[in-house]
Amino acid sequence: TLAEKPGRKVVQSGEDMLESARREAEEELGIAAVPFAEHGKFYFEDQHCRVWGGLFSCVSHGPFAMQESEVDEIIWMTPDEITARCDEFTDDSLKALSLWMSRNGDNRA
């Protein structure tokens, strides 16, 4: 599932990608004190941007506290649903999904 792509920010000075993902999940969604799994790093480049990304996941059953200035809504989607609506996602997000799929195979949720 994907929750509004939290953590799509620049890693702060002195912070690693995992720390950034945890901080952003807490700031934007109210997710705290849960373990995060690391699924690898990726690089994406096109004529508009360069992204050095890290892919992480966590499980939280809420409650969620959206940061209104950052998140309009949470939409839970499976990888298949994202793929079917790929024109709604940025190319670097689709690269991250491809990494997720290659690492998780049939575990698609």
Q: Could you give the CA distance from residue 65 to residue 71 in angstroms, rounded to a whole number?
A: 10
Q: Could you give the CA distance from residue 73 to residue 5 in angstroms, rounded to a whole number?
A: 11
The percent helix, strand, coil of the chain (3-state, each to 5) is 35, 15, 50
- Any idea which fold 17-104 has? Nucleoside Triphosphate Pyrophosphohydrolase (3.90.79)
Task: Give the model's pLDDT for residue 2.
Answer: 44
Give residue limits of the domains in the chain. Answer: 17-104
pLDDT in tens, 18-75: 999 999 999 999 999 999 999 999 999 999 889 999 999 999 998 889 898 888 888 8
